Structure 1
Amino acid sequence: MSIVLRLAARGDGVTEDGRHVALTAPGDEVAIDAEITPGPHHVTPPCRHFPRCGGCQLQHIDDESYAVFIAERVTGALGAQKIPAPELRPAHLSPPRTRRKASLRAERIGNRVVIGFSEAASHRIVDMQECHVLRPELFALVAPLRTMLLPLLKRGRPVEVGMAIADQGADLLLSGVSPEGLEASEAISAFAQGHGLARLSIDDGYGAQAWWEPAPVTVTLGGRNVALPPGAFLQATQDGEAALVAAVGEAVEEAENVLDLFAGLGTFALPLASRAKVHAAEGARDAALALKVAGGERVTVEHRDLFRRPLDAKELARFDAVVLDPPRAGAKEQAPALAAAGPGRIVYVSCNPATFARDARTLIDGGYALQWVKPVGQFRWSIHVELVALFTR
């Protein structure tokens, strides 16, 4: 027998003798023939689709082990860059059934439609009969979507179903669908109206267009209603968003002039605007415009591709603090200028510990110290990790 000591980055257990064993928890015993004896941190997965469904990888471990896993994803990435572990704040875990944004896949197979997440490392769709991560009002749309999509889908051509919760209700975006004729159009409108959707948009390859939107769709950020473009980025859960916003607010402290890079719709810019002047830079045109309208006098907005045109030392000089929330690729192009001429406080929000650690190495080499990291697990039971980190000079 060999004991599972920890979980590796992909969620498989690592035993005392160095074996990687899938679907094990810390404390499990693994025999030579790979038979698993569950330990104190191994729990019964709540969902019938686990482990086939790629939406979750870690339903078999308890919350204590899950919090440790999230923290170790961060410290492991930092260690790979030879960065000592900083103060590690307790990991925040979003509760089950709180995901307000998700991307499902749908496909017609014979005379039925399957819809759900894909299997891990596969294009096969797990036909969702239950879900313990989606908010109930989103899951409630899955069954009626099968009926509505059946005449619209062509066999062998999967489509994407983007789901989100807006202020006005559920917001759906169907990508890869090309409705033809009055009957199809009426069916879509009847579905949207009958299920009280805030909006139903379709992207047939030429950009998303709203087919049903009885009132302008918004999302509340920092107490302000912000126009929500179809498919726009939102934090996965409101609970996780609140944890990230609180950590960013603490890290910024009393800064009076704040720069928000990769600002999106204003997840951080708008809450910070209640106490500081904020300049926000965002590369997506629709998001930048929505933030500009919502920001008022306290938020100035610049539509700018920070990968092609990062801010230089002169532009950075007028800010007391910088907040940045780049996509998974990180901020490789912006980090050198920040390291050379950034302000006294940099608050880095990341959804990828590896690219965060790479950029952290650049900042530290430029004279910054990594003070603390707050891990956040918004994507319940997945290996996806987010964090907030504070760097100071």
Structure 2
Amino acid sequence: MTDVWAPPCPLFGTCGGCSLQDLSWDQYADFKLRKLKVLFERENLPTDVITPLSIIKGKTRRRALLRATKVHQSVHLGFYQRGSHDIVNMTACEVLRPEIFDLLTPLRKLLSFLIPAKKRVEIEVLHTEVGLDVVMTGKELPALNLSLIEKLTAFAEDQALARLRVNDTLILQRHVPVVSFNGVKVAADAKGFLQASADADALLTEAVLSLLPETPDTVADLFCGRGLFTFALRARARVVHAYDSDDAALGALRAAAKAFPGRVKEAARNLFQMPLNASELKDVDVALLDPPRVGAMGQCKELAKSAVPHVIYVSCNPESFVKDAARLVAGGYTLEALHPLDQFLWSPHLEVIASFKRKDS
């Protein structure tokens, strides 16, 4: 990447999708790493373990939550304006995949007769291997009748969508939306969680595997979701125990894991309310955590009491991460490595992948 001194998007400053496009690449990386180091110093964590920042390029974002409204017979479709709930009519985007951006023009045409004046609709879009998964949600959307269903079906077919849903109604499913994790196809859903891009999947998995022992016997995949790391871990470990409380995500993982009988064992569990305790962790060689933004303090407290020799922690929120990391360090772990990853380009967000090992292991 070369330094970019002028914001590449003409909507920068208005659109709330990006806030840091006015920084050069060097300034941008320095800004993110300085923020991370300040958090580390606050919790007395070592900063010399932090590696250089990896940045995922633009126009790779595979999922978007768009808003639409009708203003003077014209449909405004895009992200919120920075600092408000006004909708910026998206005419350019440097972060979304082209397949999603190219949907905006035909989507505006469709929405022009769906949205009443001054009313709003949300559109969730996910790019998958078999096409876009699209969900329109809004209490102001008209009741579905035969004529409207025909128009919606024609739209889905014309745009080669994998699936189209309006509120709770399936309009058309041409294919089951899927993504691949370590070569394993897993059902996906625009309303469910995935990382921001396939590039993020690949870099996160690469970072995790680089920290993983060559042949661990038993791995606990905590907050496993649909199995981004589960299937990569399965290729190395004798058995992977995968835990999550999201029924839909766990169901997708379970269906995909049928190809590996005995190697992946999934279980529904709310790790916030009932973290794995030291006794349940006694045979685990590596615990991998990938919690939501709030972190995993309860689970980290249990890990600190356990004899698990190695913890790998993937976090989308450095602020909650440093608190959890301090708990692990107080419990006898050493923070040995940390890889920062920028998967939400031109935003303040930052992902980190860290390795902790017990001092006596």
Same-fold status (TM-score > 0.5): yes
- Range of TM-score over shorter length: over 0.9
Secondary structure of the 2:279 match is: helix
Contact 2:287 2:312 in 1 (8 A): yes
Q: Which residue of 1 aligns with 2:160?
A: 196
1:330 aligns with 2:290: no
**Which of residues 156, 172, 179 is equivalent to 1:219?**
179
Root mean square deviation of aligned Cα:
1.6
Secondary structure of the 1:333 match is: helix
Return the alpha-carbon distance in structure 2 between the equivalents of residues 163 and 342 of structure 1: 43
**Which of residues 355, 358, 364 is equivalent to 2:329?**
364
Amino acid at match of 1:146: R
Relative to structure 1, is the Cα distance of residues 154 and 76 closer, same or farther in structure 2, using a 3 angstrom cutoff?
Answer: farther
Question: Which runs of structure 2 are paired with 1:147-296 in the superposition (5 Å)?
Answer: 147-176=109-138, 178-180=141-143, 181-203=145-167, 208-254=168-214, 255-276=216-237, 277-295=239-257, 296=260
Secondary structure of the 2:298 match is: coil
Secondary structure of the 1:88 match is: coil
Return the alpha-carbon distance in structure 2 between the equivalents of residues 284 and 342 of structure 1: 28
Contact 2:179 2:188 in 1 (8 A): yes
Ranges in structure 1 where 5+ consecutive residues have no aligned partner: 1-39
Secondary structure of the 1:379 match is: coil
Relative to structure 1, is the Cα distance of residues 189 and 195 closer, same or farther in structure 2, using a 3 angstrom cutoff?
Answer: same
Secondary structure of the 2:93 match is: coil
Alpha-carbon offset, residue 73 of structure 1: 2.7
Contact 1:244 1:387 in 2 (8 A): no
Q: Deviations over 1:84-132 (max 9, x none)?
A: 3141112111111111112111112231211111112210111000101
TM-score, with length taken from structure 2: 0.93
Q: Which residue of 1 aligns with 2:93?
A: 131
Return the alpha-carbon distance in structure 2 between the equivalents of residues 337 and 308 of structure 1: 12
Q: Which residue of 1 aligns with 2:343?
A: 378
Task: Tell me the matched-pair count.
Answer: 350
Amino acid at match of 1:322: A
Return the alpha-carbon distance in structure 1 between the equivalents of residues 119 and 308 of structure 2: 50
Ranges in structure 2 where 5+ consecutive residues have no aligned partner: none
Percent sequence identity over matched residues?
Answer: 38
Q: Which residue of 2 aligns with 1:7?
A: none
Relative to structure 1, is the Cα distance of residues 173 and 86 closer, same or farther in structure 2, using a 3 angstrom cutoff?
Answer: farther
Question: Which runs of structure 2 are paired with 1:110-125 in the superposition (5 Å)?
Answer: 110-125=72-87
Contact 2:126 2:190 in 1 (8 A): no
Return the alpha-carbon distance in structure 2 between the equivalents of residues 173 and 360 of structure 1: 37
Q: Which residue of 2 aligns with 1:33?
A: none
TM-score, with length taken from structure 1: 0.86
1:49 aligns with 2:14: no
Alpha-carbon offset, residue 49 of structure 1: 0.3
Relative to structure 1, is the Cα distance of residues 294 and 161 closer, same or farther in structure 2, using a 3 angstrom cutoff?
Answer: same
Secondary structure of the 1:362 match is: helix
Secondary structure of the 1:323 match is: strand
Secondary structure of the 1:306 match is: coil
**Which of residues 100, 103, 119 is equivalent to 2:62?**
100
Q: Which residue of 2 aligns with 1:316?
A: 281
Contact 1:104 1:160 in 2 (8 A): yes
Alpha-carbon offset, residue 326 of structure 1: 0.5
Alpha-carbon offset, residue 240 of structure 1: 1.9
Amino acid at match of 1:268: F
Relative to structure 1, is the Cα distance of residues 157 and 309 closer, same or farther in structure 2, using a 3 angstrom cutoff?
Answer: farther
Q: Deviations over 1:184-236 (max 9, x none)?
A: 21111111100011111233xxxx44321112221111111111134121110
Return the alpha-carbon distance in structure 2 between the equivalents of residues 290 and 333 of structure 1: 26
Contact 2:46 2:335 in 1 (8 A): no
1:353 aligns with 2:318: yes
Amino acid at match of 1:166: T
Q: Which residue of 2 aligns with 1:58?
A: 20
Secondary structure of the 1:197 match is: coil
Return the alpha-carbon distance in structure 1 between the equivalents of residues 321 and 251 of structure 2: 28
